Structure formats: C-alpha cells, structure tokens
Amino acid sequence: MAYVVAVVGATGAVGNEMLRVLESRDFPVGDIRPLASARSAGREVHFHGRTVPVRELRADSFQGVDLALFSAGAERSRNFAPEAVRAGALVVDNSSAFRMQPDVPLVVPEVNPEAANAHRGLIANPNCSTIQMVVALRPVREAFGLRRIVVATYQSVSGTGAGAMRELERGTRAHLDGTTETPEVYPHPIAFNCLPHIDVFDAEGNTREEIKMRDETRKIFGDPAIAVVATCVRVPVFRAHSEAVVAETDRPVDLSALRQALERAPGVVLVDAPGRYPLAREAAGRDEVFVGRLRLQSDDPRTLAMWVVADNLRKGAATNAVQIAELVYGIAPRREEVRV
C-alpha cells in the first residue's frame, strides 16, 4: 500500500519539514503532490532525491489524493480543506482553523491517539507550544493527576516562518555592526531581545498563543477543568521552543517514579542530570520532546517544575502531522535511533 500525499504549503518552513519527515520516517508515499499559492507555483521541491514541481493550490487539486497535509495558514485551510475531504482525502491540518471545533479531533499520538478514531476526514494538529508540553505532561497526569499548569515559553522565530528567520539574522548582524535595523515581520527588534507577544491580543490582554495553549491542552487531555496560565515569548533562537513548565498535581509527585515513567514514555527523551538539561540548539532537527530540570519544592510535593524543549517545526508541526497519518493508517514508522 502506498499513498498519494499532497503537501499544501510545500514551499513554507513547515511544508518543507513535512517532506523531510515523510522521507526520514519512510512513509509509504506512492506519489507526492506539493501544492502552494499561485505565487509559489512553478518552484521545485526535493523529495527522495527527485525534483518535483510545485503546483498551484486549487479546489480541484485533491482528486486521487489519499492524504493531504495542510500548513498554509488558517484561511487556506478554511477554503481548501473541505474540498480535500470531499475528494476523499484524509486531511491533517496544521493551522488553527479547525482545532477547537467539537467534531474535529485534535491529536497528539503519544497523548490522545484514541481521539483520532472519531474523525470525519479531518484531524487538526495542535499548536507547536501545546504539543511539546502535553507530551511531557502526559506521564505526570497519568501518575499524579493534573490540576494546573503555569508555563512560560521561549519560542524560536522559525515558528513565524522563513521571513522571521531572515529578520533575526539581519537584525543580529545590524546590531553587532552598530547599525539600525527596521523590523518588518515582528513589531519590535527580535535580535538580543525578548518579545512577550505571539499572535494577536484579546480583550483581556492575553495573546491568542496563550489562549491556544490553554484551550488545546484542555481538549487534548479531555479535561476542561485544567487551569493553564501561559506567557508566550519570542526569543532570539532560530529553531526549537523551550518551556518552563510548572505543574500542580492532584497527588504528591514521586520524582523517581516520574523519571522512570518519562524514560518509558513514547516520544520523550529525559535529559536530567546535574549540568545536563535540554537545549534548543541540540533539539533542532530532532523528532522527540526533551525533558529535564525536574524539581519539586521541598515544602510542596504537588508542584513540579520541568524544562521542556522540542523542535517546533518537527514535533511541533510536521512530525506530529505525519504521526497522525501513521496512526490512522496503522503504519509502524521506521524509528530513528535516539542519539542522546
């Protein structure tokens, strides 16, 4: 069995990563169809050593497509994902367009694989910041319950896209050279700075990224009572998001039992020894979620601190999307060796 796979937004940062993940996991691709807006159509992408032309995304692009991986923004997902479903494709959508619709599963395969069963042709891929956090927290929740999460993020610019990566490089060089940069992608300079502003603000002063972390976490865990207080911050890092996560549990945490659970947990790599902890630059290009800095306050065994790092383009987007397809199709992926 091999699948006809469309990648919508194939020329973007996540779309490119989807092609790389399909390759590295040996996903059984019979035919690949890179799609993009008219502006990018005619460009070429590489797949398993071949050069493949990018076609224009249109309503009739999905005839004969088995799997459509969307990562071209919420508006294009709203316009074209229903067409793909109508044409019979399984859609895995990386945008925020459908995530909170009650009839659309929001799936992280290591956390709530059973939710995928209810799909009606479309499954939503969660936000990058949410994915890595829930992968790390699932073993915590299973063993000790989960009441509240306070999280501060250190998010890389690749989450914004390739233009933001160029802006970080340009702004960094300008600052080091003592010249002035004019930011275009971000509202303020990102070089040597921290911007507590990801996505738009709501009336209560939260950003939409912060609200996504709350609402998506509740939906994935199937528990609307979990409190999530998030502060989402863009930092001058090219790739991989870091998160300072503080979890309040129902029951006292046994740290050594938790360490064992995290070592067994799918998709998790525990990096937790004195002086050893996960780092963005080491997680870049990797598919796993790296967890470390596990700590309890001596007077409070129900408050667990941890440091969670993952590549936002891989596990935070492309890898999770391909894993969802593997889950639905019952494909056992070729797992790469864990190299830690």
Q: Which residues bind its own copies (CB under 8 A)?
A: 150, 152, 154, 169, 172-173, 176, 187-189, 192-197, 201, 204-206, 227, 229, 231, 233, 235-238, 242, 244, 246, 272, 274-275, 277, 279-281, 292-300, 303, 305, 307
Q: For residues 331 and 251, what is the distance between their CA atoms, to the nearest angstrom?
A: 37
CB of 175 to its own copies, least distance (A): 9
Q: Which is nearer to its own copies, 94 or 312 (CB)?
A: 312
Helices (H) and strands (E) in the chain, counts: 8, 14
CB of 334 to its own copies, least distance (A): 30
C-alpha 306, offset from chain centre: 19
Task: Assess whether 128 carries a catalytic annotation.
Answer: yes
Q: For residues 113 and 320, what is the distance between their CA atoms, to the nearest angstrom?
A: 11
- Count Cα atoms within 13 angstroms, Cβ side, for 277: 13
Q: For residues 90 and 328, what is the distance between their CA atoms, to the nearest angstrom?
A: 9
Catalytic residue among 119, 128, 188, 232: 128
Q: Which is nearer to its own copies, 105 or 292 (CB)?
A: 292
CB of 170 to its own copies, least distance (A): 10
Q: Which is nearer to its own copies, 112 or 249 (CB)?
A: 249
Q: Which is nearer to its own copies, 51 or 298 (CB)?
A: 298
Q: For residues 227 and 141, what is the distance between their CA atoms, to the nearest angstrom?
A: 13
CB of 22 to its own copies, least distance (A): 27
Torsion of CA 241, 133, 149, 296, to 10 degrees: -90
Sheet containing 227-231, strands listed edge to edge, beginning at the edge strand earlier in sequence: 227-231, 148-154, 241-248, 300-310, 289-297, 268-270
Task: Assess whether 46 carries a catalytic annotation.
Answer: no
Q: Which is nearer to its own copies, 231 or 260 (CB)?
A: 231
Token pair 């050594």 is at which residue?
256
CB of 64 to its own copies, least distance (A): 42
Catalytic residue among 46, 119, 188, 241: 241
Burial class (CB in 10 A: 0-12, 13-18, 19+), 305: middle
Q: Point out the residues that are catalytic.
A: 128, 241
